[in-house]
Structure 1
Amino acid sequence: MYDGYWATTINGTLTYTPTTDIKECSHGWEFEQSDFIETDPTEHELVCDKSSYAHNTMSINLAGRALGTLIMPMIADKYFGRRIMFYVAVASYIIFTLPLLWVSHPTARLLLRFIQCCGFETNYLMPYVILMELIPPNRRDLTVMLTFVSWTLGMSSMSLVAYLSMHWKVISAVSIVPMVLSFIYWRMLPESPRWLLSKGRLRECADILFNIGAANGTKGTVTREEVEEELRDLSYRLPANEPLSRVFVYPKLRLRACMLFLLSFTQFPVYGVGVMSMTIMPGNYFMSHLILTLFEIPSVFVGLTVTHYFGRRFLAFSSLFLCGICCIVAPFCVDHMWKLIAVLAVLKLAVSCTLYLVFLLPSEILPTPVRTSGAGLTVVSGMLGMTFAPYLLQSGQGGTLQYWVLLGITLLGALTVVPIPETLGLVMPQTFLEGEELGRGRPLTAWIHKWNVHKYPAAPPHHTKEEVQDLMNGKA
């Protein structure tokens, strides 16, 4: 606030004279409450000299998500498996969200925010990877669609929750409810049989396979001894406890992994600008949020249809092309709110199609020993890119700069897709050799789709004993 001083005039009247000097506010604040009765910043008065706390909170959130998504999937791959790590991530969110409802000390709140966000992406990745490792190749795109629809419906429902509650504590409490309910599935959610096989836990792997067989009506077609013997033969081909860095020993696998990381890094900022734009657009905040989130639902059906019939690469190039068109059109709509919302909605639809692939392709390209840690690192790469989104929106360089920047990184994203093979109909690689050989016989210049996929090999060639021995000895 501006400083000033009191002085007595000649006739004895006491007057206050303001100056151009600035001093700390000393009379408290009043907050506009038409959208929210109470928010975290208004309750803790995070304004003026404390306004940087909000930016620190966002940085802490992203740092926690990045670190947790980097470490927790690696621990899952090496030690505990997908199932246990999923519940560890869920429990950590519940435990460290509840204190935020009453703790007021700034440092303590930042620490709680950091730990709370560590398991955020892991909550999604663990059951997702379990499903991807259980289902046949022709149903993987359907699984991604279902997880994306669930995610989008959850985001859309938050518009209604926020509108009805108008209080940040209610929103936080509601976010805990589905986490608590997930423990209902403790006995129903199986461990990934592929992971159990990679760890030599053959009996547990066989138990799950027999449960699947019973559910599918194939009970009694094979004996347990036959299944365990087949699993034992498969286990001899698998490297044990291989780190994610093993991917970089194989040239093709290394290139594809790096391209996946870079694709995620370029597309998460596009998604982030689409989401965060609603906070700076005039008009109804809740309606803007609802429109932009609902436009993700068509994207998952588009993603499922296009990947199933026309292939992964076709979806990647077409969605990135549409993103580029939206980035070119958006600067000319900044002065028209509804036109800009419409363009951003289409942009969000297109980039959601690309993110559909960001989650699908790592599970189809990376081998089982590092599948969850590789998928986690892919997401971490995206979150690192997403940290630039708020700075683009608040750059102060006009309302169009961010769209030209997004156009540039979208073009870069298109280049990353070029060396990635078409995975339509391919078997998920179990070993590093299978990951290196994935796509052999499928030219990158060929358009592979549902009607010609039978012309191309659906699995890598069988490994010889010498190749397996080279792998176990650490030879590329």
Structure 2
Amino acid sequence: MVQYDDLLRDFVGEFGTFQKICFVLLGIASIPWGCLQMSPVFMLATTDTWCKIPYDNEIASQFCVVNYTSNCEELIKNLTIPREKIDIGCGATWRFEQCHRYDIGNVSVVSYANEPNIPTSLNNTAKITCDHGWEYDRSQYKSTVSQEFNLVCDKFYLNAMVSTIFMFGLFVGSFVVGNIFDRLGRRKGFIVTLIVTIILGTIEAFAPNYIVFVVVRFFMAASGYGLYLAGFILACEYVGPSKRTLTGMVYPIFFAVGFMQLSLHAYFIRHWWILQLSIMAPCILFLSYWWIIPESPRWLISKGRTDEAEAIIRKCCRINKVELPEEEFREALKNIEKSMKERNSNYDVWSLLKYPNMRKKTLILFFNWVTVCIVYYGISFDTSSLGGNPYLNLFISGAVEIPACLCGAFMIDFPMLGRRGSMMFVMIFGGVTCIILTFVPPCGDYVWIGITLAMTGKFFITAAFSIVYLYSAELFPTPLRSIGVGLCSMTARIGAMLAPQLIFLGQLWEPLPPVVFGVTSIIAGLLIMPLPETRGRKLPETIMEAEEFGKKRKQKKNRWYPGYGEIMKVEADGKYEMNRL
């Protein structure tokens, strides 16, 4: 029975001019999604904070003396804000406390130095919490979400909660947008989610309080996921089978370009709400895709809309400069439509866990997906804590993903590695890199060593991200391939939700995040060992084939099983006896 992939391979072309144009345009549309996911690096950036001082004018009138006081504001801060000693890895340093100030009950009680009328300190060391709000260091960031909604002290944990809620929105969105694309179509689903994302992204920039901000961000994550997913599905459904792996592994490069673009935007735009609007503005241009990007012919045929699919295929052939043999083409379309109608989908997600070998492979893949996500987003969100320039750090973080994706595409077809060996290699070495990072302090001459190690870990985990998609798809049987990969992707969101919280816990013990990244990566890499290699192998078409695929059989000494009977060696001179099973 002729399949749609046969039509692309035999008549249309697997990756002609038409497919290349669509691939690039859809990839460009996914760039803002990379910006949106990584925007908390700058929008939620924390800065030096100290209590707002009441009666500051009265204190200034007594403490700041003309011709003696060069910086009145700094003097008042020194006199009214306690300092605390912190360890930065390269030694201890002093900073202003963020959550306490001296209790200034009587500003007239001061002490003086040898020179008359030059006050040096307040005669009060009692400390109270910041009851009049906070002041922020705005030398680098003019405004952030943390500053806007005072997410400091007892509300500091709400910074990490923003990213966790965003990732939970992705988790929910993976259910919702998939159904939208299956019901409305890929192109219409893309436009619907694009419009919703533009509206929500604009509302977020003008959120009046924290609750509105996180609620809007949750729904924006659910809808914005469609920008990436719809483009990915369309790009893969346009191309032929031999090019699908390459396009699927190269497509994430556009997401990495979003990282790099965000760092440039944030460098020139220091107000969080303007930065948010600058990310959303280009999305308006993508509304034109309604007239530029066609619907997926594969989806149209599956819905019985063969005439529309035929028109798009003919347009594709004209752009690809391919002549269609009319009789064979029409016969192929009829066969494809018939084949899609005859397909059954009597399998559900529980079929993955029903059989022991399939269950083992599924659970191992789940753990690897969760690990890849927690390490990937953990390193990406934590670039500002590496020391050095945060804008340059994120730019490098995005740049290393480009060679990582290309390297992953090369490694999986390397005979000595294959899919399994490549996955083990990048996970284990990525984990070792993260563990080494725990011994490098983020300060002084060690800054670039730490950044190099973090980016090396990012390189390995990005390569793992690109490999695990393909490897998972090849391990699941055909009837459960989409369900299996989709379930893995949804499970991975657990790791994405945990990553911000893990970074937050790093405030209690700084080495915690890289230690968890490293240990889980090494464990995940070792768990890959019992899985079968899929390179060059016929992929399982049924549940039972998938259950037998990679299963190790126990063999008795001097026995082997050719498939039709049991052959037992009975004598050393080469005589054999056949016992029929």
Same fold (TM > 0.5): yes
Deviates more, 1:239-248 or 1:138-147: 239-248
Match of 1:166 among 245, 250, 270: 270
Partner of 2:330: 225
Long gaps (5+) in structure 1: 10-14, 446-476
Structure 2 CA distance, aligned partners of 1:403 and 1:346? Answer: 13
1:383 alignment partner in structure 2: 493
CA contact (8 A) 2:427 2:461 kept: yes
Q: Tell me the alpha carbon deviations over residues 315-360 of structure 1, each in whole angstroms, 9 at most, x when there is no partner.
A: 2122123213313422232352111111111110010000012333
Report what 1:459 is aligned to: none
Change (3 A) 1:253 1:135: farther
Change (3 A) 1:95 1:420: farther
* Deviation by residue 1:399-429 (Cα, 9 ceiling, x = unmatched): 3333332232113322453465545467998
Cα deviation digits, residues 218-268 of structure 1 (max 9, x gap): 433143531232113312441259655565567766554444332210111
- 1:88-107 matches, cutoff 5 A: 88-107=192-211
| SS of aligned partner of 1:6 | coil
Alignment partner of 2:386: what SS? coil
| Structure 2 match to 1:151 | 255
1:30 alignment partner, SS class = strand
Deviation at 1:119, TM superposition (A): 2.2
Of residues 268-277 and 241-250 in structure 1, the stretch that sits farther from structure 2 once superposed is: 241-250
1:22 alignment partner in structure 2:
128
- 1:163-202 matches, within 5 Å, as 163-202=267-306
User: C-alpha displacement at 1:283, in angstroms?
Assistant: 2.2
Q: Which stretches in structure 2 are left out of the alignment for 5+ residues?
A: 1-99, 110-120, 554-581
- Counting matched residue pairs gives 435
Aligned-pair distance for 1:82?
A: 3.0
Instruction: Measure the CA separation in 1 of the matches of 2:354 and 2:548.
Output: 18
Q: Report the Cα offset of residue 21 of structure 1.
A: 5.0
Residues 22-421 of structure 1 aligned to structure 2 (within 5 Å): 22-26=128-132, 28-77=133-182, 79-223=183-327, 225-239=330-344, 244=349, 256-310=361-415, 311-334=418-441, 336-362=446-472, 374-393=484-503, 394-396=505-507, 398-418=509-529, 421=532
Contact 1:198 1:235 (8 Å CA) reproduced: yes
Cα distance in structure 2, aligned partners of 1:251 and 1:206: 44
Secondary structure of the structure 2 residue equivalent to 1:133: helix
**Once the 2 structures are TM-superposed, how far is the Cα of residue 164 of structure 1 from its aligned partner?**
1.0
Contact 2:252 2:405 in 1 (8 A): yes
Which letter maps to 1:319?
A: V
The structure-2 alpha-carbon separation of the partners of 1:439 and 1:161, relative to structure 1 and needing over 3 Å to count, comes to: farther
Closer/same/farther in 2, CA of residues 239 and 255 from structure 1, 3 Å limit: farther
Structure of greater Rg:
2
1:260 corresponds to which letter in structure 2? L
RMSD: 3.4
Task: Find the aligned partners of 2:159 and 2:427 in 1 and give their Cα distance.
Answer: 32
Once residues 485 and 226 of structure 2 are traced to their aligned partners in structure 1, the CA distance between those partners, rounded to angstroms, is 10
Distance in 1, Cα, partners of 2:240 & 2:260: 30
Specify the alignment match of 1:474 in structure 2: none
User: What percentage of residue pairs aligned between the two structures are identical?
Assistant: 26
**8 Å Cα contact 2:259/2:397 also seen in 1:** no
CA shift, 1:42, in A, is 1.8
Task: Tell me if the contact between 2:352 and 2:484 (Cα under 8 Å) persists in the aligned partners.
Answer: no
Distance 1:406 1:414 in 2: 12
How far off is 1:434 after superposition?
Answer: 4.9
* Residue identity matched to 2:516: V
SS of residue paired to 1:283: coil
Aligned equivalents of 1:188, 1:439: Cα separation in 2: 44
The whole-number CA distance in structure 1 between the counterparts of 2:241 and 2:457 is 29
Q: What is the TM-score normalised by the length of structure 1?
A: 0.79
How far 1:152 sits from its partner (Å)?
A: 1.1
Give the distance between the partners of 2:312 and 2:536, measured in 1 at CA: 24
SS in 2 for 1:166: coil
Tell me which amino acid in the other structure corresponds to 1:168: W
The offset of 1:161, in angstroms, is 0.9
Compute the TM-score of the two structures, normalised by the length of structure 2.
0.66
Whether the aligned pair in 1 keeps the contact of 2:401 and 2:462 (CA below 8 Å) is yes
Query: Which shifted more, 295-304 or 193-202?
Result: 193-202
SS at match of 2:238: coil
Contact 1:271 / 1:351 at 8 angstroms: preserved in 2? yes
Residues 5 and 16 in structure 1, CA contact (< 8 A), matched pair in contact too: no
Q: Deviations over 1:27-56 (max 9, x none)?
A: x43321232212122233333454343233
* Aligned-partner Cα distance in 2 for 1:352–1:338: 20
